[in-house]
Amino acid sequence: MGEVVLRASGVLPPGSLSGKRGVVTGASSGIGREIARETARAGADLVIHARERSRGALENLREELTGQSGVRVEIELQDLSLEEGFPSFVERCWSRWEGIDFWVNNAGVDLLTGEGATWDYSRKLQALWEVDVRSTVLLSKLVGERMKSAGRGALLNIGWDQADRGMEGDSGELFAVAKNAIMGFSRSLAVSLAPSVRVNCIAPGWIRTAWGEKAGEVWQERVRRETPLECWGEPADIAKVARFLLSDEARYITGQVWNVNGGAIR
């Protein structure tokens, strides 16, 4: 009721994205899906993205968002391991509603569940480079240049809270390579695109996505031990911070990496 009154009076509620147009990559599941839900609830029209094999999940999400939030939602399918498709992908998204106000680079390769978990070290590294790093960098450059020409915009990338302090094992090493690159790039791009475009990065901690839901008791105990709040975070916890950073409430925040990790420091 309070939000309805604020809208009727012409005053938008805190963190509102009403009237804004956004893109969320990797929106078919996990953190990306929750960011799409949260930004739609905040009033944004969206382009939601995934690969062709996730078309059904995107169609279900579009139906959910348009039904519950009353916003416009379109679907774009693109394989982000194929660099040659990036310019046309950005053009399609940009032309949906003649501009984009925010863009979330959430898409990343899944190396913990499914087929990716069986790959060798070199193949995992190559996949992380192609999907996580290269697509984030090149899409940010393409979108950022358009936003700068338009005189406004916000970019949001996804890092990892343990990337700059280290974690043992192949997965820790590999994700550190990719996510440190994204976090450092985000800081520098923010300087390049200022003052008209803001760039920030969220570094999630132990978030209960598909892998976390199936992790054994050893991992459950590790999460409790390493997190002062003694529990997993949920994708919705990341989404709420994303919504704030994309809103005008965060107008004076750029070039920052936000740890959302329950207070973990090691």
In the sheet that holds 102-105, the strands lie side by side as 73-77, 45-50, 21-24, 102-105, 154-158, 198-204, 257-260
Any idea which residue has 């475009």 for tokens? 197
Domain ranges of the chain: 15-205+238-259
Q: Secondary structure of the chain: what % helix, strand, coil (to 5)? A: 55, 15, 35
Q: Which CATH superfamily is domain 15-205+238-259 in?
A: NAD(P)-binding Rossmann-like Domain (3.40.50.720)
| Alpha-carbon gap, residue 65 to 183, rounded angstroms | 30
pLDDT by position in tens, the chain (length 266): 444 444 444 555 668 999 999 999 999 999 999 999 999 999 999 999 999 999 999 999 999 999 988 899 999 999 999 999 999 999 999 999 899 999 999 999 888 877 888 899 999 999 999 999 999 999 999 999 999 999 999 999 999 888 888 878 888 899 999 999 999 999 999 999 999 999 999 999 888 877 767 777 887 888 788 888 888 889 999 999 999 999 999 999 999 999 999 998 76
| Alpha-carbon gap, residue 251 to 167, rounded angstroms | 34
* Single pTM value for the model: 0.91
| Alpha-carbon gap, residue 264 to 71, rounded angstroms | 36
